[in-house]
A and B are shown apart, each in its own frame.
Chain A
Amino acid sequence: MRAPHIQRRMLKAAGDLSAPAQLRFRETLERLAAQLRRALLETGGIIRIEKDHAALWKSVSGQAIGFVDGGLANLPMLGSAPVAARVEGYTVTPGARGAEREKFFVLKRLIDQLYAYDEEGVFEDAFPDVGALRDAARIAIGAAGAVRMLAEQRGPAWVFLRGALVNPVLRFTDAMRDGQVRRRFPDFSDTALADFLPPQEPAREGRGRRFLSVHLRQLQFLEEAQAVVCGVVERESAAVSACRAVLDGLADAPLRDLFPESPREWKNRFRNAVDPSGEDDLAGRRITDSLLFHCVLEPGEALLPVPVNRNELRRAAERRRDVIGRYPTPRVSYLQVTEWNAPLRLEMFSKDLGRFRETTALVMHCALLLPRHAFPSGMDVAERVPNRWSRPLDAHAAARAMRQTLQRNDTRLFDALRLMLCAFEREFLLRPGVYR
């Protein structure tokens, strides 16, 4: 094992296992990481990015770079359920000076406002999977931030989204029971369509207003853009899909001399070891992509991208396959920036693979500047603004205010109040125009 910090993460991953199982987990991980590293080095699957701030920033000087961070917002005094979706954008031109160097925007909508119900209010015509509604809103508004950025006349040369570039979308369809549609997944409202889609987009009707179609159009717009669009995930997940894709992509010939067993046997054994769902001791103890590549990659190294299809056609409902089939398959890579951080997961469209190296170098140097903050640009730093500036309203006062607005039967006022109350601290900082 390369360093103690990896052991820390390993213990975290296997901390509730028995002592012998922990030992086995450690040995397994160590062996797999070593083998995979050998295989990748043999096949050229790892590239090295040299740290050179001066050269990197000189190479991107004068080119705008956009960062998009979407998410959900809630009303703390009423519980933790999100009521609004938001996206923030930051465009910066390295090497530029003056007021035009940086641009910010914030877009925030109540989740209710994004969906077109026959009768207003989410509680009047509730879709059973409220979580799906919220996630769909989060994904769509995040992509909308990138769309908005690229739709500008002089758009950026790179757009980095915080999160996956292409999300699994199969769950965002009608609720079914016994083969029948129980609840229809709601259409997006006119407001949402105006926010989410590129400008001058033709009017949409029917299914064209639903998430699957709208988000597909967003992804298509991003893919068509000249700019490199890249999703960056710094949070660890339980996914093992990248490991599988790497194994699938490894040619057998170079592996024959590396391991005693045949390449096919080695790959099968590797897949089972990474996801040992069959073993009692290690049931559920998958070696995640994040953990595995943290052990495989040295600081400054990146995995060459591999295709990871997160929306497999075979799993899609028959009537939605025409749409699902058009969802792009992102190319996924892992980048180890420092030995102390988990590797960053990068997702790009296949058309941008020619610029993978320079994009990865840019990501690495950005991350080196803000090692303890969320990628893309450390916009989460803004959340650490002293609370006294934007301390949430006292719960009692907020509840009173909401009751009063409800009593007035003014739904617009009520929505405006909710939107205001679920403000994030960062919005204060990102609000354009307040500083100059």
Chain B
Amino acid sequence: MAADFDETGRRQIGAVVGNAGTTEFTFILQQFQARVGDIVMLDMAVPDGAYRGQASIYVWARITDIRRFNPFFPFEAARELADEGIALEDTVLSDARDQLEAVCLILGATPENRFAALSPLTYPVKPASPVYRPPAAAVRELLVGGREHEVKAPLGSLIARSDVEVALSAPRLVSRHLAILAMTGGGKTVAARRIVRELIGHGYPLLILDPHGDYVGLVKCRELLRQEAPGCEIRLFFPDLLMQQAGGDLIEKIVGQMTDGLSEPQADYLRSAFAGLPANEGEPAIAYIERLFEWIVKELKDSDDHHRTPTMRAVGRSLGIVHDRLVRMRWTSETMRRSTKLGGLPFEPLPNPFTRPEDIVRPGQVSILYLGGYDHITQCSIAAITLETLFEFRANLTGRIAPFLTVIEEAHTFIPSAREGTQSAVSLPVVRRVITEGRKFGTGLMLISQRPSRLDETIVSQCNSFLILRLVNPRDQTFVRAVMENLTESDARMIPGFGPGQGIVSGQVVRFPLHIRVKMDEDLLAAEIGDEDFFAEAASWASGGDAATPEQGVAVAAENGQDARQTPAERIAGTMTDKLSAPQSASDRLLKALDGEDLNPLIEFLITEYGRSAGARKRAEGVMNLLQGASDADVCAQFGVQPGSLRGWVKWAVEAQRKIAAAK
């Protein structure tokens, strides 16, 4: 059909039918003239402000649904065609009379000459009004009306109109928080990279928490990005878990989560230990735990409070486990950074956020915090400490660091919902604080998740803007409906049907909800790290590959005097558990069994045993040593017995004590 444009460049595409209101209307659409998501307009006369005359306005609306049916093609005809395997076009049935009924959500009304002044429609749309497809320039003016001078972050175009660009309001984006929610493959990383690229172009400081390495590849596009933003820096950091001076709660939570949990006396003891040996600000957690462990070992030795020693040892063992896990994770992280996937990338240690925050947050710099290799508890802890520390620098108004935007990828890890165990994520209260107060201090958040239903609803609902791409999981869809106030039912129904990169953007970053197609930055594809090729790895493995053989590993370890079957973490952790192996010793068992009893009669009895026989003397002397805290190894070496003999000695001594007590 030839395009019939009027003098303003718009084209009539249908007419309003049915009951029209101030929020929505329906119109019969000519074929092939508009799609869902398209913005349409119509002319209207409304009462003027003084109710003395009429004012001419434009009503703007977005098509939210289009229904199509062919009344000439009833069900029985369809069944006959299907049964017979014939095509409709080969019969006399009509194929051209199908009806298009478009449902529109009214966006608002503007004066005829100023599209920027969008206001709510307060007078119903007139039935039979012609509906127009406006020219692209008019739609663009509508989209940016009143925000012409704002810094923009172009994101893509309208789904229905590739000639109308959609740009987000950058100031609102960086201060009022944005959530990007989409299933895997929905295009959330592409959208996030698009936004990140625009913010890089504006030199805005960015901190990206990247658990899976989705953004580390950006460093490969450094030169490209520098052409757009001269001087910009893309820095890859690997973090270490650091301590805060007031980090008693943190260490308690970590110990509680990484182990089977702490009893109340154990938690009390840990708190007292932290108070007795406070952490230094920014001190690596592994180093601090080692210090704390030594402190507890020393306390154990010095303590004559037998009632408390089991608690102390339990805390010590827990610290050993935490230490072990942290060391393992650090080792895993190192290994991952050295892998073929990430091996060539310029990783550097994360600067201490307590002492060098300006090295992390700096205008023109993107700091990508690669959290790969750490479990989610540690990732949460690292994120919490880093984010809270940086936030404090903004909140205390010292001017130490610039405002910045934090991109939290895999946000469900950091802000899990109550169902996921809210109390376990130390990052949750930190993110909650940042999202609540961030607007004041210029610490915006961009939350990205593929499982919205696993996110903390309170936090997500405080995001002022949303970019919703394809979501199929019903729970995720329900969640999105719950947190997005202005999501219409028809929009919600579209969410599972979006293609990659298609979605709805709404909130303060745009004037009204829009159906958008996110622009794919082809030139950033180099930033894709991609998945490992396990087939290739397996093939290379079979032919030898680069992997060291077990024999080679044993030889190298042996040269270093180490057990080759142990990882570095295991070796370190081994030394700590050795120190705490005493509770399992014969001495400990003996002392525990006799805890609180008067030992003098037993010692007198042992002395009498000295003269009875050589064997009795050896046993009595060995038990005396055990009562004085000698280790199993020392006793076995001194008396030339096996550790199993010590169990018999302990049993004999305890029975003797019982008999003495009974005789008294």
Tell me the A residues contacting B by CB distance below 8 Å.
53-54, 57-58, 61, 65, 67, 90, 92, 94-97, 99, 101-102, 104, 365-366, 368-373, 377-379, 381-382, 384-385, 388-389, 429-430, 434-436
Contacts and interface: CB of A to CB of B under 8 A. Distances in A.
A102 B95 contact: yes
Nearest to A160: B92
Contact of A99 (B28, B96, B99): B96
B77 interface: yes
Interface stretch (B68-76, B277-285, B593-601): B68-76
Report the 7 A-B pairs with minimum CB-CB distance, sorted nearest first: A53-B84, A57-B90, A102-B96, A369-B77, A388-B18, A53-B86, A92-B92
B71 A96 contact: no
A435 B1 CA distance: 10
A365 B1 CA distance: 34
A94 B74 contact: no
B28 A101 contact: no
A370 B96 contact: no
11 contacts: A94-B89, A95-B90, A369-B76, A369-B77, A369-B91, A371-B76, A381-B72, A381-B74, A385-B71, A388-B19, A435-B30
Contacts of A379: 72
B478 interface: no
A342 B17 CA distance: 39
Interface string B14-41: 0001110000000010110000000000
Given A381-B72, A436-B1, A368 B94 contact: no
B97 interface: yes
Given A381-B71, A436-B31, 14 more contacts: A53-B84, A54-B84, A57-B91, A96-B89, A97-B89, A99-B96, A101-B95, A102-B96, A369-B81, A371-B76, A372-B76, A377-B93, A385-B99, A389-B28
B584 to A, nearest CB: 82
Nearest to B97: A429
A185 B286 CA distance: 113
Interface of B: 1, 17-19, 28, 30-31, 71-72, 74, 76-77, 80-81, 84-86, 89-99
Given A54-B86, A94-B89, A435 B31 contact: yes
Contacts of A57: 86, 90-91
Contacts of B18: 388-389
Contacts of A371: 76
Contacts of B90: 57-58, 61, 94-95
Contacts of B31: 435-436
B85 to A, nearest CB: 7
A101 B96 CA distance: 9
Given A57-B91, A65-B92, A92-B92, A382 B71 contact: yes
A21 B534 CA distance: 88
A389 B71 contact: no
A197 to B, nearest CB: 28
B17 A389 contact: yes
Contacts of A58: 90
Contacts of A104: 97
B93 A369 contact: yes
A94 B76 contact: no
A378 B72 contact: yes
Nearest to B26: A388
Nearest to B84: A53
A372 B17 contact: no
Contacts of A99: 96
Contacts of B92: 65, 67, 92, 94, 366, 369, 377
Contacts of B28: 389
A90 B95 CA distance: 12
A430 B71 CA distance: 11
A389 B28 CA distance: 9
Contact of B94 (A90, A97, A388, A436): A90
A366 B17 CA distance: 33
A228 B90 CA distance: 20
Given A54-B86, A94-B91, A382 B72 contact: yes
A302 B224 CA distance: 80
Most chain A Cβ neighbours within 10 Å, of B18, B90, B95, B98: B90
Nearest to A66: B92
A371 B17 CA distance: 31
A61 B89 CA distance: 10
A429 B92 CA distance: 17
A384 B84 CA distance: 26
Nearest to A91: B92
B89 A429 contact: no
A373 B93 CA distance: 12
B71 A384 contact: yes
A61 B92 CA distance: 10
A313 to B, nearest CB: 38
A393 B207 CA distance: 64
Given A53-B84, A95-B89, A370 B74 contact: yes
B510 to A, nearest CB: 33
A374 to B, nearest CB: 12
A379 B86 CA distance: 21
B146 to A, nearest CB: 37
Nearest to B28: A389
A96 B96 CA distance: 12
Contacts of B74: 370, 372-373, 378, 381
A385 B76 CA distance: 17
A368 B80 contact: yes
Nearest to A67: B92
B79 to A, nearest CB: 10
A383 B194 CA distance: 52
A65 B17 CA distance: 33
A304 B198 CA distance: 80
Contacts of A368: 80
A373 B92 CA distance: 14
A54 B72 contact: no
A251 B90 CA distance: 42
Contacts of A388: 17-19
Contacts of A389: 17-18, 28
A433 to B, nearest CB: 9
Nearest to A433: B1
B85 A429 contact: no
Contacts of A381: 71-72, 74
Contacts of B85: 54
B477 to A, nearest CB: 29
A57 B91 CA distance: 6
Most buried by A among B18, B77, B94, B98: B94
Contacts of A435: 30-31, 96-98
A370 B98 CA distance: 17
Contacts of A53: 80, 84, 86, 91
B94 A377 contact: yes
Contacts of A377: 72, 92-94
B94 A102 contact: yes
A333 to B, nearest CB: 20
Contacts of A101: 89, 95-96
Nearest to B89: A97
A388 B76 CA distance: 24
Contacts of B95: 101-102
Given A99-B96, A102-B96, A429 B71 contact: yes
Contacts of B84: 53-54
A57 B81 CA distance: 12
Contacts of A96: 89
Nearest to A366: B92
**Residue among B18, B71, B85, B97 with most chain A CB within 10 A:** B97
Contacts of A372: 74, 76
Contacts of A92: 92-94
A379 to B, nearest CB: 8
Contacts of B89: 94-97, 101
Contacts of B1: 436
A276 to B, nearest CB: 38
Contacts of A54: 84-86
